[in-house]
Structure 1
Amino acid sequence: MTAGVIVLIVIAVIVVIALIWGVATYNGFVRLRNLVQEAWRQIDVELHRRHDLIPNLVETVKGYAAHERGVFDEVARARAAAAGPASGPAEQAAQENQLTQALGRLFAVAEAYPVLRASENFQQLQAELTNTEDRIAAGRRFYNANVRELNTKVETFPPNIIAKAFHIERAEYFEVEEPSVRAAPEVSF
């Protein structure tokens, strides 16, 4: 074998290795992007469940505290905004923060009515909402872990070469921005 043939074989091997690496890296990005999208869909399901529980909760409280119209309107507006389309996780998080604050005020109103707090319907709705909040928190952790993994891969070298070539971008985290909302809403009665 001549030196020229050996050089061509070495170059061919390097090109094949680079192609295999490129395909594997691209496929890894696709897998991570799909995990992020799946995780977001799971959060979306739980958010819809939360949004569906709220009218029942409002109606239950309204039966005992009909004069608290402002609180009910605020919850309805916040629910409508949160249930509406959002441009991304950051906007959805902001809308959910407003809804959480409105629910906190609703529970504060409910606290003034011992008969309401003792109501089986109210207790069941409260338990369902607490369960849903826990599921949203778990979904948020799963989603953010996948986002972190995707973002790390998009930013590190050499996978960032493939990310730039195929326009794969960082994903948004779904996180609570306001410190007062970082704590789970207090729903104990």
Structure 2
Amino acid sequence: MVWFIVGACVLALVVLALFLTLLRFNQLSMARSLCDEAKRQLLVELRGRHALVPAYIGTLQQVTTQDLSSVELALASAERAPFGPRGAAAESALTRAVDDAAQIPSQIGDRAIATDSSLAMQASPSEELDTTISLLHGQLNVLTDRILSGARIYNTNVDLYHRQRERVVSRLFQNVFKAREPFTEAQPQQTFTEAQPQQQSGAQDQSGPAGS
């Protein structure tokens, strides 16, 4: 009778362990799927913006002779950058380049008016091109907002997924459920050897006036 009770308890523990293991496996699988789906949607928005930038550059080239290579280089870098911190940094650089280029038509018009008001109409871009540039820039801004929103959703899912992976039972499946790279710019971290001389110089600066 005693052995029967012990055997039943052991069997119950084994069944419970299997149940918890399967439950954790399903939770990890669901968390990974959420990350992959968020990444897929984010990539759609990124590719949509990359496809629109050439039309934006082409329209700007019709109204200015200024060098737009910075936008072209930013686009090329964003298209080549791997998904992750490097990709996020490249997308931020592309956003800045696009916003800077959007100021070119107004700068041309201001310079033309300042030079000679009688030549303002000849020097300034046509209203059609101005409208097209504004519309394209507006569409790019909408895509940028979607990218930022998609990146937040993706990074939130990645954070939750990584927390799931760090739990005790989840460590059994770490070779199956690989880590996902967040889509955020890597923040430069100051090393201890770089920070120490600065702290020492700061302490000397503070002690100098006190001694005098």
Paired with 1:122 and 1:79, the residues of 2 have a C-alpha distance of: 17
Aligned-pair CA distance for 1:116: 4.7
> What is aligned with 1:100?
95
The superposition leaves residues 134-184 of structure 1 with CA deviations (integer Å, 9 ceiling, x where unpaired) of 1111111110111111011112x32433343x44233221123479xxxxx
State the number of aligned residues: 172
Q: Which residue of structure 1 lines up, in the alignment, with residue 177 of structure 2?
A: 168
How far, CA to CA, are the matches of 1:152 and 1:116 in structure 2?
Answer: 54
Give how far 1:17 is off: 0.9
Q: State the partner residue of 1:36.
A: 35
Backbone CA RMSD of aligned residues = 2.2
Query: Structure 1 pair 94/117, CA: closer, same or farther in 2 (3 Å)?
Result: farther
Shift in Å at residue 106 of structure 1? 1.5
Contact kept, 8 Å, 1:75 with 1:102, in 2: the verdict is: yes
Residue 142 of structure 1 corresponds to 153
- Classify the secondary structure of the residue corresponding to 1:64: coil
Residue 79 of structure 2: aligned partner: 83
Name the larger-Rg structure: 2
Q: Deviations over 1:90-128 (max 9, x none)?
A: 221122122223223322434413455952211210111
- Runs of 4+ with >6 A deviation: none
> For residues 60-79 of structure 1, what are the alpha-carbon distances to aligned partners after superposition, in whole Å with 9 as ceiling and x for unaligned?
1111111x12xx11211221
User: Which amino acid is the alignment partner of residue 173 of structure 1?
Assistant: P
Alignment of 1:10-25 (within 5 A): 10-25=9-24
Q: Distance in 1 between matches of 2:69 and 2:187?
A: 22
The correspondence of residues 106-121 of structure 1 with structure 2, limited to 5 A, is 106-114=101-109, 115-116=124-125, 119-121=130-132
Provide the rounded CA distance (Å) in 1 between the counterparts of 2:101 and 2:187.
Answer: 19
How has the CA–CA distance of structure 1 residues 116 and 159 changed in structure 2, closer, same or farther, with 3 Å as cutoff? farther
Maintained 8 Å contact 1:53/1:129 = yes
Contact 2:102/2:133, CA 8 A, preserved across alignment: no
- Give the corresponding residue for 2:206: none
Residues 16 and 47 from structure 1, CA distance in 2 versus in 1: closer, same or farther, beyond 3 angstroms?
A: same
Alignment partners' CA distance in 2, 1:117 and 1:174: 40
Question: Are the structure 2 counterparts of residues 130 and 117 from structure 1 closer, same or farther at C-alpha, using a change threshold of 3 Å?
Answer: farther
Change (3 A) 1:108 1:7: same
Cross-structure match for 2:138 = 127
Q: 1:104 to 1:20 in 2, by over 3 A?
A: same
Q: What CA distance in whole angstroms lies between the structure 1 residues aligned with 2:43 and 2:147?
A: 9
